[in-house]
Amino acid sequence: MRVVFAGTPEPAVPSLRALLESERHEVIAVVTRPDAAAGRGRKTMRSPVGQLADEHGIPVFTPAKPADPDFVSQLTELAPDVCPVVAYGALLPQPVLDIPRFGWINLHFSLLPAWRGAAPVQAAIAAGDEITGASTFLLDAGMDTGPVLGVVTERVRATDTTGDLLTRLASSGADLLAATLDAIEDGTASAHPQPEDGISYASKVSVDAARIDWTRSAAFVDRHIRSVTPTPGAWTTIGELRVKISPVQHSEDTLAPGSIEVRKSGVHIGTGTTAVVLGEVQPQGKKLMKALDWARGARLDDTAVAR
C-alpha cells in the first residue's frame, strides 16, 4: 500500500523504520511537527521522525496545523491508501481523516480504552499497573475512541521508568503496526469497538505535576518518580535549591515526610510511610551525580528538608 506516515518523537521512529523495511508497503511521505528548538544550545532541529525520513530521501511535510489548506491539498494529491500515525502531536480534522482510502491507523501505547490521551505510559506506571501494552485503532474525531484493530501486551517491571517501558513498547508496537497494515491490505483486519467499561485518561504531565509529594507513601513516591523519568523529571526543593530526583530504592527506616538523613549507606528521605534512598540527583544548573556525593558536597545538616 501507499503509505503516508505521521509521527514526531523518538518512540515513533521504530514504527517508521519497520514500514521502510517492509516489502509490502511504500512510504511515499512523512508528516511531522515543525522543526523546534532542542538541546542545551536550543538549536532548531528536525524531529527524530523527520530526520529518519530525510536519511531515506522521503518528502517531509511539517504543517503548523494539519488543517492548513496547502497541507490538505498536498495530502489529497498524494492519495495515500493508509496513514499510520504514532505520537504525531496534533489533532487531525475530519477532512484530513477522510483522505486515505483505509483511514488513519493510530498506534497508541496502552490497552485501550485504558489510558486514552497524551501520556499513557506515564499513567500506567504511576497507577501501579502490572500489565500494559499497545493498541492499533482506526482514528476518528474522538480522543483515542476508534475501533481497535490489534493489541500487544507488556509486563510493567518493578524498576521500569517511562523511558524503559516506552522503549520496549515502541519496538513491539512497531511490529504490531506493520502487522495491522498487512492485515488491512489482505482484507483480514477486524475492528472491534472499544468497551464502555474501563475507560481512563492520561493527560500530559506538566513540570509542576512532576513535583514529589513526600507525604505520600513510599510506593507512591517510587512510582511517581519512575513515571516522570526521564521527562519532565521528578523534582523537589531542599532549602532554596531545586533538585531533580532519579529513581529511588526502598528503605525499612521511618523518617518524617521530607526529612533527610545523610548516612554512609546513602541519602534517606522520609515519606508518608517508610523512607526511600536516593540514587542520583541533579541540582539546578549542574550535571547528574550520585546523591551521596552531592549531599556531602552540599554539606546538608540535620535540618535539611525536602518539600
With cell 532549602, the residue in question is 239
DSSP string of 91-120, one letter each residue: PPPHHHHTSSTT-EEEEESS-TTTTEES-H
* Alpha-carbon gap, residue 257 to 272, rounded angstroms: 6
**DSSP percent split of the chain into helix, strand, coil, nearest 5:** 30, 30, 45
- Half-sphere exposure of residue 46: CA atoms within 13 angstroms, side-chain side: 14
Q: Which three cell numbers stand for residue 52?
A: 529518519
With cell 492485515, the residue in question is 183
DSSP at 201? E
Is 300 annotated to bind ligand? Answer: no
* Alpha-carbon gap, residue 264 to 120, rounded angstroms: 38
CB 107 within 8 A of CB 86: yes
Is 113 annotated to bind ligand? Answer: yes
Long-range contacts: 249-258, Cβ < 8 Å, 24+? 249/276, 249/277, 249/279, 250/218, 250/222, 250/274, 250/276, 250/277, 251/218, 251/275, 251/276, 251/277, 257/214, 257/215, 258/214, 258/215, 258/305, 258/306, 258/307
Q: At what angle do helices 120-127 and 162-186 cross, to 10 degrees?
A: 130
Is 278 annotated to bind ligand? Answer: no
Nearest to 226 by CA among 203, 205, 241: 205
Is 217 annotated to bind ligand? Answer: no
Q: Which three cell numbers stand for residue 218?
A: 513510599
Feature table: binding site: 110-113
Feature table: binding site for (6S)-5,6,7,8-tetrahydrofolate: 110-113
